[in-house]
Chains A and B, each alone.
Chain A
Amino acid sequence: MPIIEVKKLSKTFKVKIKEKGIKGSIKSIFKPKYKTIKAVKGISFEVEKGEMIAFIGPNGAGKSTTIKMMTGILYPDAGSIKVIDYNPVKQRKQLAYNIGTVFGQKEQLWTHLTPYDNFKFFGAIYDIPNSRVEKKIEELKELFELGEFINTPVRNLSLGQRIRCEIVASLIHEPKVLFLDEPTIGLDPVVKENIRSLIKRMNKEYKTTIFLTSHDVGDIEKLCKRVIIINNGTIVLDDTMENLKYHYLNKKIVDAKMREKVNLEDEEGITILKDKGYNLKIEVDTRKRSVADAIKLLNPDNIVDINISNIPLEDIISNIYKKEDKK
């Protein structure tokens, strides 16, 4: 039984077009021109309970519109959504009791209050009895290692500490589904790593389903087992992380530094990515040619240094984005 079910979901926006200059401004008052933008075009997908899923796509692909519809912020034009048995359109409040949201760029905490007071405030919003809130705070304090600063006003906390508090604030009411929108934006690598492991631990501990969007490939790679890629309002890929990588794992990148110049040309299974005479970068499709073949072509005696690697996930994803745009 999936915990999230989205069927043929669509949303269109009417956007006012304004021409430049004073004339344009006056014109747009009396005779506004609109164009319709189809932000989401009939997408469908399901998420199982306890899954950690990455929902990604380039800017303006329809990601946030979809999340906003799933959380009850926007009304869909067509299609249906079910999140934990609730219809966000009709049961916004009931849904809100059962989901959590963290929007990386928007703060929901009062900055002049301590995290502790903030958590108590959220307890009141979710109608949780005082004794239970206190117990929950204690528990989350341990899990998210907030002990040091739980009584320091939020405005005096570092960005990393703040985002940890933001996440805790969205967990006070034990949501069954957590929506994380760019949770690690603007954080340094060490803090990012820390947040990721905390999210992982939380998912394990509470079996919370996590719906994550991020532009950070690290987030996606380290947290999620499944990826949905959306572009231009349609889903272009819905697969496991393993499949995604495997599909591209057939390709290896060979980066070689040569003693003498070699003249290579593209041939079956081998693509030259870069050729600067002494420095070469070639892509080998291992289904057609072996890596050894490629090295032989280079003349192994001439190689000063060599590096054979997989295509980075980042490139895989941006390739998928580009491929879609060309269509």
Chain B
Amino acid sequence: MRKYLFIFKSEVMSNLQYITNISISFIGIFLMLYIFLNLWKFIYSDPNELINGYSYNQMIWYVIFTEVIWSVVGGRKMCAKISEDVKAGNIAYNINKPYSYIGYCLSTNLGLCAVRAMLYIVLGLLIGLLFLHSFPSISILEAIAVFISFVFAIVISILMLTSIGLLSFFIEDSGPLYWMYSKFILVLGTIFPIEFFPMWARGILKYSPLNAVNYGPATLYVNFSWNSFILVIISQIVYLFIIYMICKLIYMKGVKRLNVNGG
């Protein structure tokens, strides 16, 4: 465990050097949020109106929260990097080292995400304050609970992307798979809460990984209750376990294949 902590720490240190570049890449997120702000302002004719149970302020905070998760993870590059590792055979060097590749992936990527999270959470809160002039009513203890679920969401996202990247063992190009995953996350979980979808879809979406990676933590933030916190955390733990097993399985099968083909 200590070695992963060390990898994580050195990754955080090295990314701290690029702090200005990372902050500047927030401009794109800001623009998207600004568009959503205008869009929802137009749709909510009265700020006190509730649409599908969400007030205008809750809606904007929801989008800020999910956009921050999305950009903290920054999936495209991460997935491409793992694919590259598999294809270029870098992974072969990792096989005989005394750490697991998945653990290594998780700790390096968490290092990068930690730096981004630090910046984007602050910037996200500032934007929300700028747009809405208030925060959701939430106590410090509750905020800590939301943060825990936020961290879980990041870890699960990284593992999902890792497993997609590792599929490059078996298929020529994992790009289209990443693409489908990103559309799933963006269109179904980031822009609207699940309540905005037709009844029949809601049931399915509620049990999908969306609850673990963005919808769950984001609704906690805009409308906290300890009851829903427990439900979200349980679903996150379950998904964490499932996705970790999937990741491991793909890796083991993949490496076996690598040995057969002689790398």
Using a CB–CB cutoff of 8 Å, the interface residues on chain A facing chain B are 21-22, 25-26, 29
Instruction: State which residues 78-118 of B face A: CB under 8 Å.
Output: none
Most chain-B Cβ atoms within 10 A of its Cβ — which of A21, A22, A29?
A: A22
Among B15-23, B204-212, B217-225, which stretch is in contact with chain A?
B15-23
The proximity string for B residues 1-27 relative to A, scoring 1 for CB distances below 8 Å and 0 otherwise, is 000000000000000110110000000
Q: In the bound complex, how far is the Cα of B20 from the Cα of A130, in angstroms?
A: 53
CB-CB under 8 A from A26, the residues of chain B are: 20
How would you classify the secondary structure of chain B's contact residues: helix, strand, loop or mixed? Answer: helix
6 extra interface residue pairs, beta carbon distance < 8 Å, beyond A21-B17, A25-B19, A26-B20: A22-B16, A22-B17, A22-B19, A22-B20, A25-B20, A29-B20
* Bound Cα distance A21, B13 (Å): 12
A26 to B20, CA, bound (A): 8
Q: Which residue, A21, A25, A26, A29, has most C-beta atoms of chain B within 10 A? A: A25
Chain B residues closer than 8 Å to A29, beta-carbon distance = 20
Q: How far is the CA of A26 from the CA of B17 in the complex (A)?
A: 11
Q: Which residues of B contact A22 (CB under 8 A)?
A: 16-17, 19-20
A/B pair count, beta carbons within 8 Å: 9
State how many angstroms separate the Cβ of B20 from the closest Cβ of chain A.
5
Contacts of B19 in A (CB 8 A): 22, 25
| Top 6 closest pairs, chain A to chain B, by CB | A25-B20, A22-B19, A26-B20, A22-B17, A22-B16, A29-B20
**Cα(A29)–Cα(B19), bound, Å:** 13
Which residue on B lies nearest to A28, using beta carbons? B20
State the CA gap A25–B20 with chains docked (Å). 8
CA distance A191 to B66 in the complex (A): 60
Q: Which residue of chain A has its CB nearest to the CB of B17?
A: A22
B226 to chain A, nearest CB (A): 40
Residues of B within 8 A of A21 (CB): 17
Bound complex: CA A22 to CA B19 (Å) = 7
Task: List the B residue with the shortest CB-CB distance to A29.
Answer: B20
Q: Which residues of B contact A25 (CB under 8 A)?
A: 19-20
Provide 9 A-B residue pairs closer than 8 Å at the C-beta atoms, listed in order of the A residue: A21-B17, A22-B16, A22-B17, A22-B19, A22-B20, A25-B19, A25-B20, A26-B20, A29-B20
B98 smallest CB distance to A (angstroms): 34
Q: Which chain A residue has the least Cβ–Cβ distance from B19?
A: A22
Alpha-carbon separation in the docked complex, A29 to B20 (Å): 10
Chain A residues whose CB sits within 8 angstroms of the CB of B20 once the complex forms = 22, 25-26, 29
- State which residues 12-51 of B face A: CB under 8 Å: 16-17, 19-20
Residue on B with the closest CB to A25?
B20
Cβ–Cβ < 8 Å partners of B16 in chain A: 22
Q: In the assembled complex, how far is the CB of residue B18 from the closest CB belonging to chain A, in whole angstroms?
A: 9
B17 proximity list for chain A (CB < 8 A): 21-22
Q: How far is the CB of A60 from chain B (nearest CB, A)?
A: 27
> Digit string of B232-246 for contact with A (CB within 8 Å is 1, else 0)?
000000000000000
Q: Closest CB of chain B to A155's CB: distance in Å?
A: 19
CA distance A324 to B19 in the complex (A): 43
Measured in the bound complex, the distance between the Cα atoms of B19 and A25 in whole Å is: 9
Q: Mark B175-190, 1 if CB is under 8 A from A, else 0.
A: 0000000000000000
* Residues 141-166 of chain B, each 1 if its beta carbon lies under 8 Å from chain A, else 0: 00000000000000000000000000
Question: How far is B17's CA from A21's CA once the two chains are assembled, in angstroms?
Answer: 7
How far is B16's CA from A21's CA once the two chains are assembled, in angstroms? 10
A190 CB, min distance to chain B CBs, angstroms: 33
Q: In whole angstroms, what is the CA distance A21 to B18 when docked?
A: 9
In the complex the two chains form, what is the Cα distance from A25 to B16 in whole Å? 12
* Measured CA separation A26–B16 after assembly (Å): 13
Chain B's closest residue to A20 (CB) is B17
Nearest-Cβ distance from residue A101 to partner chain B, whole angstroms: 35
A22 to B16 CA separation, bound complex (whole angstroms): 8
- Tell me, in angstroms, the Cα distance from A203 to B20 when the chains sit together: 53
Q: CA–CA, A26 to B18, complex, Å?
A: 11
Closest to A22 in B: B19
Q: Report the minimal beta-carbon distance from B62 to chain A, rounded to whole angstroms.
A: 33
Output the least CB separation between A189 and chain B (Å). 32
A84 CA / B16 CA spacing, docked (Å): 54
B16 to chain A: closest residue by CB: A22
Report the bound CA distance from A300 to B140 in whole Å.
96
* CA A21 to CA B20, docked complex, whole Å: 11
* Distance, CA A184 to CA B35, complexed state (A): 55
- Compute how far the CA of A29 lies from the CA of B17 in the bound complex, rounded to whole angstroms: 15
Please, which residue of chain A has its CB at the minimum distance from the CB of B20? Answer: A25
